[in-house]
Chains A and B, each alone.
Chain A
Amino acid sequence: MDYKVVIRPKKGLASIDFKELWHYRELLYFLAWRDIKLRYKQTFLGITWAILQPFLMMVVFSIVFGGIAKISSDNIPYPIFSFAGLLFWNIFSNSLNNASQSMVANANIVQKVYLPRIILPVASVVVTIVDFVFAFLIFGGILIYYRFMPNFFGLLFLIPLLLLITFSASLGLGLFLAALNVKYRDVRYALPFFIQLLIFITPVIYSVSIVPEKYHWLLALNPMTGVIETFKAGFLGTSAINWQILMISVVTSIIFLLFGAWYFLKTEKTFADII
């Protein structure tokens, strides 16, 4: 094997070396595997947490927003309504949390070994798919409990597309936060607060239909709005799919990804020196 390397200054925006990333694909796998393996080590409930967390959130939301506040859930049982939103919301929020800490948590690797650093946040985002799978199983159970028949067209076609949008948006934002966190540790304190606020401008606990139509485009700038609304419409059949909102979300999520990758690669060269 040829290992010839030319080391030169990284001026401006270093382009992504896809050949090199391909060479390191196994590392991505091992890092993701490590994070999954370690996630629930030394916990009493173990992997049950992956199920318990969204389930308890759904219970609380159903009691507070569905039962007490009586928020409209487009005529479907509120637990199904909120859980559908939480499925994708949790990928997004967990990805942001994981990715933003990924560089600092792996500081010893960053300082001592060369590897395409972008692998670290990517691996931390990939891991959230595991939680999604477990949560989806619970979702299936809830659907059966309420004898609710979803639209299976959504399962085959929409879910892969919506997952792509979710990953693109959360990876983009995650890359930005990971790079920012290397320099400003404020991120660690600001992010949980930011995520808590963000859930209220995302239709997890409510439906876009209760917001005046002239503000819909504003909500759609948040890519998770398009993802969650489309899932509820296409899979649960709450309404017709709003393609306009979905398209805006696709575009914003791509912009997020490009911006995040740009910022990450721009600042990457200084990571080893300042982390």
Chain B
Amino acid sequence: MKEIIKVENLSKKYRISHKKDGMAYSTLRDDLVSIFKKPFDWVQGKKENKEDIWALKDINFKVDEGEILGIIGLNGAGKSTLLKVLTRITPPTEGTATINGRVGSLLEIGTGFHPELSGRENIYLNGTILGMKKKEIDRKFNEIVEFSGVEKFLDTPVKRFSSGMYVRLAFSVAVHLDPEILLVDEVLAVGDAVFQKKSLGKMEEVSHKGRTVFFVSHNMASIANICKRTILLDSGKIVMDGPTPEVIDYYMGLRKNKTAEISWQNPALAPGNDQVKLQGARILSEDGNPISEADIQKDILVEMTYWNLKEGAKLLTSIHLVNSQGVTVLTSFNASSASLAVDPWYEKARPKGLFSSVCRIPANFLNDGLYSINVYIASYAGARIAQVAEEKIISFNVFDTGAMRKEFSGAWIGVVRPRLAWETKYRGNDKQ
């Protein structure tokens, strides 16, 4: 196998300045004033409130032709910086990367598109910005136009395009660059769901052609589906580099210690009022341990703990489960007609003290993805009065173990993903 990328001791340092006003760029005046205030610091190259951060530190790896490499890690682990260095947008501070082939990234879709220029003009402009030759664009022009499906509007300024047409045209140009190495950052990918699906499809297609793909994602299921090998980055370093299932397991193990949990030790600071105070909320696994990554095949417990401060109060507890698109997937509360088993404290006068209420979300029911929880506690004495209402107080991720994916590996559409009963019957052959 031909070695297509070789990265040796690659490091990238950023200097972060802690500015008071949080301005994005400095003004000449600020810098001049600081020089006059502390001339000796300036001469010695000292700057106030500056901190070096290694976004990448001693990265080493090799990629062979045709390999599909996944890159995972938490936000700020250095994934995007690595792509930026490999696309030469920003130079490394130390080390080298040798690349044998043209690099394309779906980051750059529509870069340099100008709204006033026509579709045709933008194809040429964008194509040359991405590194294509005019001759190459001439040759691929018809293909690009056909793939984009905007033939009729080629001579219309793209500012009159619908956003869908705009993205299709931009995508078409980027795809026809036909790079040997494709870098995809799903985290940064913009566009609608259709577009994202299209780019994922393109990526799979490219990989079948023996091209090399770098795939950065937060979505473990897509990584598991597409990449054989995965690199785990943490704080700019490679923590693990190996077969995807092992790396994902290790990564999930790391994240297990971080819980989707919130709690207040001091009741004075806790949300609520003089009747009820929230003590905390957390996601628990079946065996009662706090987790932030929930296995799609296991029950998920949502626990809230709270102090009842009023003797004899009757309380109603409720949760909303909201997915990452902001859709409320479900609402549940502990009323006897609305729950599976009657809650022992439902409609009972409660003594003062700490209570814990747990709601069980069944296994094999939610789709994979990020969810957050809203917590409500109401009192009722004739009428219900909300005492605690905390939105998106905790969040957790449901991850796909692949148990339902023996036959199908694509995106699983739907707000929920229950296992449902199917039965097909043969009804005879009476048509003939």
Contacts and interface: CB of A to CB of B under 8 A. Distances in A.
Interface string B1-42: 000000000000010000000000111110100000000000
Interface stretch (B116-124, B226-234, B291-299, B339-347): B116-124
B114 A6 contact: no
Nearest to B88: A114
A68 interface: no
Given A34-B125, A183-B25, A269-B90, A109 B114 contact: no
Contact of B27 (A9, A109, A114, A185): A185
A113 B91 contact: no
Interface stretch (B104-112, B142-150, B279-287, B312-320): B104-112
Contacts of B85: 7
Given A4-B100, A7-B97, A185-B27, A272 B84 contact: yes
Given A26-B133, A30-B124, A113-B130, A272 B99 contact: no
Interface of B: 14, 25-29, 31, 84-102, 107-108, 111-112, 114, 116-117, 121, 124-125, 128-131, 133-134, 180
Contacts, number: 102
Contacts of B128: 26-27, 30
A38 B117 contact: yes
Contacts of A31: 125
Given A9-B95, A184-B27, 8 more contacts: A3-B180, A112-B111, A113-B89, A115-B129, A183-B25, A184-B28, A186-B27, A269-B90
Interface residues of A, number: 34
Nearest to B86: A7
Given A30-B125, A37-B117, A272-B84, A9 B91 contact: yes
B190 to A, nearest CB: 11
Nearest to B124: A30
Nearest to B137: A26
Contacts of B99: 3-7
26 contacts: A4-B98, A5-B88, A5-B99, A6-B99, A7-B86, A7-B97, A8-B91, A8-B92, A8-B96, A9-B91, A26-B128, A26-B134, A30-B128, A34-B114, A41-B116, A42-B116, A108-B111, A108-B112, A109-B129, A113-B87, A183-B25, A183-B26, A184-B25, A186-B29, A272-B84, A272-B89
Nearest to B10: A7
Nearest to B90: A272
B117 A34 contact: yes
Interface in A98-130: 106, 108-109, 111-115
Contacts of B108: 112-113
A111 to B, nearest CB: 7
B196 to A, nearest CB: 18
A269 B13 CA distance: 12
- Chain B CB within 10 Å — which of A8, A42, A113, A185 has the most? A113
B112 A109 contact: yes
A89 B92 CA distance: 41
A10 interface: yes
A274 interface: yes
